[in-house]
Copies of this chain bind each other. A is one copy, B any other.
């Protein structure tokens, strides 16, 4: 196991109906929140009204900023930060899925500085990059089980001018409190629930595949999350109102990126890196982009670390691999993942997304520039240089 620091200063208030505590929890953070959310869902479902009313009840002066698009953009964050400053907001609440939560985090930083948020996001060598020195206190209210933004110190922001999607990351971005109320996720459609499930799986499977140090506990915790996500998603697809299954998905989401599962094993997040290049160019959901890249990267990599793919086959898919050569077990693991994606209608290609003539070279270059660091490749058991990424993307044509 590698050395590491584990820090998770977020208080998580978890459970059905806990959204009713939002006022009481919020008043511990300040008096005038900027309430950051998307343009339609929270309004349509009445969740925005409910949250606003609970906040008002405690005497808080809510400033609404409901302009967050999927894959939130630099310009939207900058505008939100200026609004928070002009209205003298003293904390920020992110309500919705990963987009409004990540936007809220970035706005909490932007509200404390005068230059664009893009300067605080690493997006390649030689580009402007400043450390985050402070942020307004952050609260998140997730309404989808997916990104884990409710319990991590990062956020993903897109520069639509340059088609770069990159990560803002700082201990200041841990929410002070997150209210994870699985009941809020009940209205999420099957498609978006499935997108989220794939995102959660990828949050733990990336380290599982790419770890540079053996970590059997972390592996088992990852397998536990993956199996629970798969079981729970299947249940939600047949019974969308199952609070039990929704709760399991939500707790998986919160733990996946909390540091508990991935600490100490090293490795990288090549799928996330490549996906960010995809959804930096095409306005698709993050989970759908991950579903697109997952089978190709498994195909492309499994011969370079077959024992891990065979372990997935045995421990997650419960395939009897006894007596098989490891490479055969590995191939069964790759096949099982592809089959599972098909079974939940998440098997994805560029053509199934309606994207013709994908910009393979451009996406590969963006990936390496933004996520290749000074290495010039993505960390993976089979190193991923520009040409490898083009190959991978073409496998998903």
Residues from chain B with Cβ under 8 Å of A4 in the complex: 14-15
- Asked whether A228 and B216 contact (CB < 8 A) given A6-B14, A14-B5, the answer is yes
Interface residues of A in 251-275 (CB under 8 A from B): 251-252, 255, 260, 263-264
Q: Give complex CA distance A17, B2 in Å.
A: 11
How far apart sit A3 and B223, CA to CA, in the bound complex (Å)?
A: 24
The answer to whether A88 has its CB under 8 Å from any CB of chain B is no
A18 touches B3 (CB 8 A): yes
Q: Quick one: CB contact mask for A15-27 with B, threshold 8 Å, 1 for yes?
A: 1111000000000
CB neighbours (8 Å) of A217 from chain B are: 224-225, 228, 248, 251-252, 255
A13 at the interface (CB under 8 A from B): yes
Select A221's contact among B2, B8, B224, beta carbons within 8 Å: B224
Distance of A13 Cα from B7 Cα, bound (Å): 9
Q: Chain B residues with Cβ under 8 A from A225's Cβ? A: 217, 220
Closest to A7 in B: B11
Contacting B at CB under 8 A, from A81-110, are none
Say yes or no: is A214 at the interface (Cβ < 8 Å to chain B): yes
Q: Which chain B residues lie closer than 8 Å to A3 at the CB level?
A: 14-18
Q: What count of chain A residues pass the 8 Å CB interface test?
A: 39
Instruction: Write out the residue numbers on chain B whose beta carbons fall within 8 Å of the beta carbon of A9.
Output: 9
Residues of B within 8 A of A231 (CB): 216
Judging by beta carbons under 8 Å apart, are B227 and A14 in contact? no
Instruction: Considering the complex, give the chain B residue whose CB is closest to the CB of A12.
Output: B6
Known A-B contacts A14-B3, A228-B216; A251 and B223 likewise in contact (beta carbons under 8 Å): no
Chain B's closest residue to A182 (CB) is: B1
If the complex has contacts A221-B224, A224-B220, A255-B260, are A11 and B6 also in contact, measured as CB distance less than 8 A? Answer: yes
Residue from B18, B252, B263 in contact with A14 in the complex, judged by beta carbons closer than 8 Å: B263
Which chain B residues border A14 with CB–CB below 8 Å? 1, 3-6, 263-264
Q: Quick one: which of B2, B227, B247 contacts A220, CB cutoff 8 A?
A: B227
Q: Are B1 and A214 within 8 A (Cβ)? A: no
Shortest distance from the beta carbon of A58 to any chain B beta carbon, whole Å: 19
Residues in B with CB closer than 8 Å to A255 are 217, 260
Q: How far does the alpha carbon of A13 sit from the alpha carbon of B264 in the complex, in Å?
A: 11
Which listed residue, B2, B8, B15, B228, touches A8 by the CB 8 Å rule? B8
Whether B17 pairs with A11 at a CB distance below 8 angstroms is: no
A246 shortest CB reach to chain B, Å: 10
Q: Is A131 engaged at the interface, CB distance under 8 Å to the other chain? A: no
Q: Are B1 and A247 in contact (CB under 8 A)?
A: yes
Q: List 18 A-B contacts (CB under 8 A).
A: A1-B15, A1-B247, A2-B15, A3-B14, A3-B16, A3-B17, A5-B11, A5-B14, A6-B12, A7-B12, A9-B9, A215-B248, A217-B224, A217-B248, A220-B228, A224-B224, A247-B264, A251-B264
Which residues of A are in contact with B by a Cβ distance under 8 Å?
Answer: 1-9, 11-18, 214-217, 220-221, 223-225, 227-228, 231-232, 244, 247-248, 251-252, 255, 260, 263-264
